[in-house]
Structure 1
Amino acid sequence: METENRPLVAIGYWKDESGDGLPHPSSFLGQEWSPSIKSKVLEYLRSGVRVNEQLGYSWCRLDASIEDCEMGCAEKTDGKYIWPEGLEVYVDKFDLYLPEEFLNYMESRGFRIRKEEINKDAFYPWTDEFWKNWALQRKPSLSKRIMSKFGFKAKD
């Protein structure tokens, strides 16, 4: 199994009141996905294996009218990365974009999660070091190369 002996790489976790050093999702808006890539990415996020269930729902940091239950109460994984269930809401409703490394990984696997490689009943530890570093180093807009490769279009 791909996840043995190492924590999963966390993405899509947001700042809360504790001052945990995580970013706010508003820092990742401003791009439009091409419809074909966006649908593949959304399907990938939705098809992640549900793990690490919690006792309460998350909440949307951008729109209070989105029901907490839509944001979920668990995490999803593909065996390398782990993300909160609600990440798909940010991509779908707010055109949030994701790290190139994650997009490359999805693409390298044909936008398909190999669920047979993941034990859904295990607890999966993770590290947010990559996510925090990526957020800190992120430029205000994606490079033209990344935009072109993943079908982003600059908003006016």
Structure 2
Amino acid sequence: MSATKSGFTEEERAAMKQRAEELRSTKGLKGAAKLAREVEDCAKAIDKLTGVDQEVAVRLNAIVSEVAPDLNPKTFYGFPAYARDGKVVVFYQPASKFKTRYGTVSFDDPANLDDGPMWPVSFAVVEVTDAVEKKLRELVKKAVA
């Protein structure tokens, strides 16, 4: 990843453009129409992924649907994400997005993962196993508690 004149990589600039497009695509939509668009966009983002990235995104989508059905699917910089009251709680950043070694399941500020003066909010995932699924399920459940 090489930086452009702005200091951002091409991938970062593309993600910023994608976020701007996400905001434009739901501008003026409210209620069920906005939710439907965001659900559709999240599904499309997952469908575009391949390999481990798609496996993780599909499993995270299923886990959120089961454990935290009050979170609404959407996209966040093109990533599959899940939000409450419009604020992203959890999202998946695929490795393919920035050509990194691993994708991450990350939790934003509204997630209730607090544990003392310091706690993790991002988790690298290189393989979907029963143990990984169990841990993700626990984290999502705690995040929305």
Name the TM-score, length of structure 2 as normaliser: 0.29
Relative contact order, CA 8 A, sep 6+: which one is greater?
A: 1
The structure with more strand, counted as a fraction of residues: 2
Name the TM-score, length of structure 1 as normaliser: 0.28
The structure with more helix, counted as a fraction of residues: 2
